Amino acid sequence: MEKVLIVTDSSAHLTPDEVQQYDISVAPLRIRMGRKVFKEFTELSYESYFRRLETVKSMPTTEPPTLQEMIDLYYDLSRRADHIISIHTSHKLNPVAEVARAAASTLRSHTRITVIDSETISRGLGMIVLRAAQMAQAGQNAGAIGREIRGMIPAIFLAFLTSDLNYLERDGRLRKSQAFLGSMLGIRAMVETREGDLLVMDKARDAEGAVEKLYDYISEFAYLEEIALLQHNNVSESTALLERLRDMFPDISIFTDVYDATLATFIGPNALGVIVREAY
């Protein structure tokens, strides 16, 4: 039986229990905050990220692991794997998949490595990784896992409402005039994943409107398999939305948490959103 091991990056928003239970290897992304750089997941927890953000003047950015780190990780895993499947954050948001492919190519004669761009981020990536790891643990071969994962990717959807419009303006997702006016009026921008990127698709004028907007967004899906509700500094809105989602989807377990540092570098520290997986 082929032994398959799963690799991902820290944006996947996996819990320590999930990582341990399914034998998942996590390559930390780097978060640059001012002059300092931290490894997400190992050196920088989500909570410490937001605490540090209060004292940093410049907006943080995200960077991939080094090529040597990925080579070392793959080499260590090759000692106990017949095939490594490495699933990563969308290349439009972080070049980690490109670094992973470069590392895999250097070990081509040593071990089999398949690198997959998830075209998403955060718990959306985590949903894909968990499915791959569950299949690997059940003894499925790399071919079957790869087909399953590639079928899952178009079924993952993300939508967040954020009031930190300067982050969107910095990355070219909003014009400077839009960010300035929106901030003056207290407007929250609705960001969705489209073709692996984060794009501004809608807006809400207040907290109540943000809850309603996300509820309407999820209501459009006829058959959902998984839901993640992530927030920071939006506890009351998150609670209100969670209650409505539990009424709508009583049979689906809803993952709730503070969103991860990597996602926060794009949407800022004051956002509320959902990540869902549709039946496929």
Tell me the per-residue pLDDT of 147-162, one tens digit each, with 9 for 90 and over: 999 999 999 999 999 9
Domains of the chain: 4-154 (3.40.50.10170), 155-278 (3.30.1180.10)
For residue 67, is pLDDT > 80? yes
On whether the CB atoms of residues 58 and 34 are closer than 8 A, the answer is yes
Mean pLDDT, rounded, for 41-47: 86
The larger pLDDT score, comparing residue 82 to residue 175, is at 82
Sign of torsion, CA 129 89 150 256? positive
Helix (H) or strand (E) holding 17: helix 16-21
Among the listed residues 271, 270, 261, 7, the one whose alpha carbon sits nearest the alpha carbon of residue 121: 261
Distance from C-alpha of 258 to C-alpha of 121, rounded to nearest angstrom: 14
Confidence band for 108, pLDDT divided at 50, 70 and 90: confident
Q: What is the pLDDT of residue 47?
A: 85
Q: How far is CA 154 from the centre of its chain?
A: 15
Q: What angle do CA 251, 252, 255 make, to 5 degrees?
A: 150
Helix (H) or strand (E) holding 69: helix 67-78
Backbone region of residue 120 per phi and psi (left: phi > 0; alpha: psi in -120 to 50; beta: other values): beta
For residue 184, is pLDDT > 90? no
State how far the alpha carbon of 115 is from the alpha carbons of 56, 66, 70, in Å: 35, 16, 12
Kind of pairing between the strands at 188-194 and 224-232: unpaired
Distance from C-alpha of 94 to C-alpha of 43, rounded to nearest angstrom: 19
Residue type, 174: L
Distance from C-alpha of 269 to C-alpha of 280, rounded to nearest angstrom: 32
Write out the E strands in 10-82.
24-27, 30-33, 36-39, 61-63
Mean residue pLDDT across the chain = 94
Backbone region of residue 84 per phi and psi (left: phi > 0; alpha: psi in -120 to 50; beta: other values): beta
The residue count of the chain comes to: 280
- For the entire predicted model, the pTM comes to 0.95
Give percent above pLDDT 70 in the chain: 100
Kind of pairing between the strands at 254-258 and 224-232: parallel
For residue 191, is pLDDT > 80? yes
Sign of torsion, CA 107 112 118 124? negative
Mean pLDDT, rounded, for 12-40: 96
Q: What is the pLDDT of residue 148?
A: 97
Confidence band for 213, pLDDT divided at 50, 70 and 90: very high
